[in-house]
A and B are shown apart, each in its own frame.
Chain A
Amino acid sequence: MLLLIILILSFISSYFLPWWMAAAIAFLAALFIGKTSGKAFWSGFVAIFVLWIILVLIKSIPNDNILASRVIQLFPLPHQWILLLLITALIGGLVGGMAALSGVLTRKAFSK
């Protein structure tokens, strides 16, 4: 449930709000309906991880990945654009997970 809410709200916000709004959404969603710390973290992580993969692919597939194939060469990594996708998704996941974890911990701090 938490995962879906974060994913859908972040997806909508991505069209007109800055990227870090995903963190605010994950935080607030977990604040209200988060249960355990572990669940919240992974919901946030997976939601943004998946969302960013979707957003990347929406852009990159019609592009035949030509841009990603160039940009990966800026990194000291093997020249496989898919790595860029993974790094992007991991960063998003980490931010989402941390934000959701913060949300649920905040609620616990204020509940009896």
Chain B
Amino acid sequence: MKLFKALFSIAATLVLIWALQTKFGDIPPIGDFLNPVSGFWQNAESKNLKSDENLHLEGLQGKVTIRFDEHRIPHIFAENDHDLYYAQGYLTARDRLWQMDIQTRSAAGRLSEIVGPKALDIDRYHRRMGMTYGAENTLKGMMKDPLMKTVIEAYTEGVNSYLHHLSKRDYPIEFKLLGYSPEEWKPINCAYLLKLMSETLAGGSDQFAMTNNLKRFGAKDVNDLFPDYPFHEDPIIPVGTKWDFKPLPVPRPSKDFIALMTDTIKPKERVAGIGSNNWAIAGSKSASGYPILANDPHLNLTFPSIWYQLQMTSPTVNVYGVSLPGAPCIVIGYNQKISWGVTNVDADILDWYQVKFKDNKKNEYWYNNKWNKTSKRVEVINVLGQKPVYDTVIYTHHGPVVYDNVSQKPKEGHQNIPVGDALRWIAHDESDEFMTFYLLNRGKNYDDYRKALTYFTAPAQNFIFASNDKDIAITPNGKMPLKYKDQGKFIMDGGDPANDWQGWIPYDENPTVKNPPRGFVSSANQSSTDQTYPYYINWRFELYDRGKRINDKLTVMQNATIDSMRLMQMDTYSMRAHDVLPAMLQYLDTSKLQPDQLKVFQIVKKWDKHFAANSVGASIFNTWWLKFYDMVWDEFKNEKVLLNVPSFDRTEKLLLTEPNSKWFDLKGTATKETCSDIVLQAFVTATDELLKSLGEPGKKWEWGNVKDTHINHLANLPGFGTGHFYTGGTGAVINALRGGNGPSWRMVVQMGPQVTGYGVFPGGESGNPGSFYYEDMFNTWRDGKLNELLFLQSADEKSSRIKSTLTLNK
């Protein structure tokens, strides 16, 4: 009996300990997670950090001194380039290890390994889009270049050096929550980060939807509603800029394309609002007489922060700026001679081709009037708690057939991907993008800038530039396919060689402008050029609103300072309201409004067109406009197939110039509606909705309260993000902050004998939610302020802002 009691008690204890170390579904091993010996409590960082630290690390060739400022931003001083990139890898891993792991893991289609079958669809999507295939090709390109090989390998060594000395109790908290361990960093992970950028900035497509549009409405309506050049535009390269080259012959459209466009045959999504701003003014417009450059790339904002800020110094370079965790070099920044930044071009570098297979075996496909062999790539996806999944992807010479039958396509999401079509995507090509940044980091003048750009493949960016030689320039740049006009606007016939990409626009014929007479250059993702540019880049770009506002402001700007640029980055004036509100007010028949609706009308009528946080008018206009837009294009709603709805720009043209257009007529009504009917109906619906949900106009109606702005943790963990915060801005204004998307880094650089940079990103240097540096820069960012960036000239330079030093020795 006694023995039984003892055994029972021991067994119960063991079961208890076992249960505390086991993951049940999504619940982490509770004992492992909570115990203070090695669980999450160990991640609670003390506010009293050691001021000086000395470490001996294998693989270093010399001594590296790292100074940390008050935001714990590292300033690296290395004796050689190997140690510089080693240290960058080491420090980034120390601050952002989990972010590096999860981002590359996601791009590589390996999430199922850690979270099980629920991530299978997303993993298969990444594999089938050819992310792995593309990363392998990019790795080849990088490793061919001896210089890049050294850089990537040194960075990798640095990350792994940190990893090798990391004990379990010091794993980032997310590893403890998800119950897995970090793994060795590999050079291909750096390539995966580039693929992830291509996916975010140039991985969407609306060709499937556009093709459906064509079938549903016919060529005449589609050409009218989806024009190749917008109604409102103010292109990046100033109108009238001359092209000083003799262009290559433009390929001729394929036969099926012509047939498609003339309606003789009946043929069988992209994220809007991804954008960024950059601009540079010439010395003639600045108070100091030297150029000023500003850049704020807009991305989906997350914690840990998207960017990692640092200064990197060796005998060959002294550069300050932001890097991507997991990739060497500074992506956006400045040195003593030049500064540069990027925004997305939105070039059409992703196309779909309809494939005709010989039979169900899909070993052969029709191309160039004969059967050609397909190749097959087997993707092995390891799944937590299950057998690995083997997924065979068929490749034609174009690229992968992403979904070769309907059953492969997940029931939810990825609706914009056509079935049975091959994907040609620039992200599949061999490339060496880091070389661009390596060269820019060391750039001294305009020629260095131009040279650096020739190494950049994808995703195409508007590279802006300013130098101490008082040059300013901008270049929509990347490897851009040579195409016939509108090639890839719709899904193409993959059998016709005329539909293939016919070569590339030469790098020195990418649109560019240096020191234009107007005294500034800028971009905000709008059309790269006016209609005289001889090559086709895309049929649609982002709306002109931000670009127009920037150009209007810069045109009249004189004696500009850092602060003028900062205020511009926070500007919330709406060009859309500027363009359409007077007409909407005019069309609105106020005699048909109820008293409470009239009150709302009075507010929006007096509104100053700024999407400020405390603006009630902004909330009214925004709701009104969206209702109007939905009502105008009701023909595109509730269709069984995916359709592309005409742009805001086209809607503005309809409102301003075609008040009797057939599109104003609502489908379900017997009467024939015109523009003024829809303006009224939209106003009444919008007002009633606001009154019902928010009560009488007041505090609740303020734009900062109506708009849900937040920053989430990468894994959407509650409590690890910011929650809702009160702020101004919206999609089509310079301060393009809405939902969880907005300026991920704001930078302003004053060139001159003493270059001074200002910048801030939402969040902090540390990726650890238990660190005081996890979001210490958030408030500064939210309030529209910038930090002066500490740009040290030597490791010994004295500054009261240096708080601690880390010395790395071999």
Q: Do chains A and B stick together as partners?
A: yes
Measured CB to CB, the nearest residue on chain A to B774 is A66
Of B6, B9, B13, B44, which one neighbours A59 at CB under 8 angstroms?
Answer: B44
Bound-state Cα–Cα, A27 to B13, Å: 10
Task: Determine if A101 is an interface residue (Cβ-Cβ < 8 Å).
Answer: yes
Flag if A74 contacts B719 (CB, 8 Å). yes
Q: Are A88 and B6 in contact (CB under 8 A)?
A: no
State which residues 30-52 of B face A: CB under 8 Å: 30-32, 34-48
From B5, B173, B177, B718, A105 is in contact (CB under 8 Å) with: B5
Q: Which of B9, B177, B772: most chain A CB closer than 10 A?
A: B9
Beta-carbon contact of B36 and A98 below 8 Å: no
**In the complex, A102 Cα to B6 Cα: how many Å?**
6
Given the interface pairs A14-B37, A19-B35, A70-B720, the reply to whether A101 lies near B47 with Cβ below 8 Å is no
Q: Is the CB of A63 within 8 A of B717?
A: no
Please tell me if the beta carbons of B44 and A68 are within 8 angstroms of each other in the complex: yes
Cβ 8 A contact of A19, one of B2, B37, B45, B717: B37
Which residues in chain B, 71-98, are within 8 Å of chain A measured between CB atoms?
Answer: none
| Chain A residue with Cβ nearest B3 | A109
Using CB atoms, name the residue of chain A closest to B15: A98
> Cβ of B9 and Cβ of A105 under 8 Å apart?
yes
CB distance from B150 to the nearest CB of A (A): 38
Residue of A nearest to B13 (CB): A98
Task: Tell me whether A60 is interfacial, beta carbon within 8 Å.
Answer: yes
Q: Is the CB of A108 within 8 A of B37?
A: no
Residues of B within 8 A of A91 (CB): 20, 30-31, 34-35
**A45 CA to B606 CA in the complex, in Å?**
69
Given contact pairs A98-B12, A101-B9, A73 touches B718 in the complex (Cβ within 8 A): yes
**Looking across the interface, which residue of chain B has its beta carbon closest to that of A26?**
B13
25 contacts between A and B (CB under 8 A): A18-B37, A19-B32, A20-B20, A59-B36, A62-B46, A62-B48, A63-B47, A67-B44, A67-B769, A71-B719, A72-B719, A73-B720, A74-B718, A87-B34, A88-B41, A94-B16, A95-B17, A95-B20, A98-B13, A101-B9, A102-B6, A105-B2, A105-B9, A105-B10, A108-B2
Chain A residues contacting B20 (CB-CB under 8 Å) are: 20, 91, 95
Interface string of A43-58 (1 = CB under 8 A from B): 0000000001001100
Residue numbers in A under 8 Å from B2 (CB-CB): 105, 108-109
Contact B45 A63 (CB under 8 A): yes
A80 contact set on B, CB distance < 8 A: none
Is there an interface contact between A66 and B13, defined as CB atoms closer than 8 Å?
no
A106 on the B face (CB < 8 A): yes
Say whether B770 faces chain A, with CB atoms less than 8 Å apart. yes
Residues on A with C-beta less than 8 A from B41 are 55-56, 59-60, 67-68, 88
Since A62-B44, A66-B770 are in contact, a sample of 14 more A-B pairs with Cβ atoms closer than 8 Å, ordered by chain A residue number, is A18-B37, A20-B31, A23-B13, A55-B41, A63-B44, A69-B719, A70-B720, A74-B717, A88-B41, A91-B30, A91-B35, A102-B12, A105-B5, A105-B10
CB contacts (< 8 Å) of A62 on chain B: these are: 44, 46-48
Cβ proximity bits B107-145 to A, threshold 8 Å, 1 near / 0 not: 000000000000000000000000000000000000000
User: What chain B residues lie within 8 Å of A84 (beta carbons)?
Assistant: 34
Does A2 count as interface, using CB distance less than 8 angstroms?
A: no
A108 surroundings in chain B (CB, below 8 A): 2, 5-6
**Contact residues in A for B48 (Cβ distance below 8 Å):** 62
Please measure, in the bound complex, the distance between the C-alpha atom of A102 and the C-alpha atom of B7, giving whole angstroms.
Answer: 8
Nearest A residue to B769, CB-CB: A70
Measured as residues with beta carbon below 8 angstroms from the partner, the interface class of chain B is 35 or more
Q: Which residue of B6, B36, B717, B772 contacts A66 across the interface (Cβ within 8 Å)?
A: B772
**Residue B681 is within 8 A (CB to CB) of chain A in the complex:** no
Q: With a CB–CB cut-off of 8 A, which chain B residues contact A88? A: 34-36, 39, 41
Q: Would you call A7 an interface residue if the criterion is a C-beta within 8 Å of the partner chain's C-beta atoms?
A: no
CB within 8 Å of B: which A5-47 residues: 14, 17-20, 22-23, 27
A3 CB–B CB distance under 8 Å? no
Taking the closest CB of chain A, its distance from the CB of B719, in whole angstroms, is 3
CA A60 to CA B770, docked complex, whole Å:
9
Q: Which residues of A contact B769 (CB under 8 A)?
A: 66-67, 70-71
Q: Is the beta-carbon distance between B17 and A64 smaller than 8 angstroms?
A: no
Q: How far is the CA of A94 from the CA of B46 in the complex (A)?
A: 29
User: A63 and B770: CB pair below 8 A?
Assistant: yes
Q: Which B residues touch A68, using CB under 8 A? A: 41, 44
- Contact residues in A for B717 (Cβ distance below 8 Å): 74
Contact of A95 with B13 at beta-carbon distance under 8 Å, contacts A106-B6, A109-B2 already known: yes
- Give the nearest-CB partner of B31 in chain A: A91
Nearest opposing residue in chain A for B33, CB measure: A71
- Near A by CB (< 8 A), chain B positions 516-559 give none
A101 to B40, CA, bound (A): 28
Given contacts A23-B13, A73-B719, A109-B5, contact A92 B35 (CB under 8 A): yes
Residue B284 interfacial (CB < 8 Å): no
The 3 closest A-B pairs by CB, nearest first: A73-B719, A67-B770, A63-B44
Q: How far is the CA of A32 from the CA of B39 in the complex (A)?
A: 30
What is the CB-to-nearest-CB distance from B802 to chain A, in angstroms, rounded to a whole number?
22
The answer to whether B21 has its CB under 8 Å from any CB of chain A is yes
A88 to B12 CA separation, bound complex (whole angstroms):
19
CB distance from B711 to the nearest CB of A (A): 14
B residues within 8 A CB of A52?
35-36
- Name the residue among B16, B35, B42, B719 with the largest chain A CB count within 10 angstroms: B35
Q: Which residue of B lies closest to A20 (CB)?
A: B17
Which residues of chain B (221-276) have a CB below 8 Å from chain A?
none
A71 to B31, CA, bound (A): 15
Residues on B with C-beta less than 8 A from A17 are: 37
Query: Which residues of chain B are within 8 angstroms of A66 by Cβ–Cβ distance?
Result: 44, 769-770, 772
Contacts of A19 in B (CB 8 A): 31-32, 35-39
Is A95 a contact of B16 with CB atoms below 8 Å? yes
A55-B10 contact, Cβ under 8 Å, with A62-B46, A62-B47, A95-B16: no
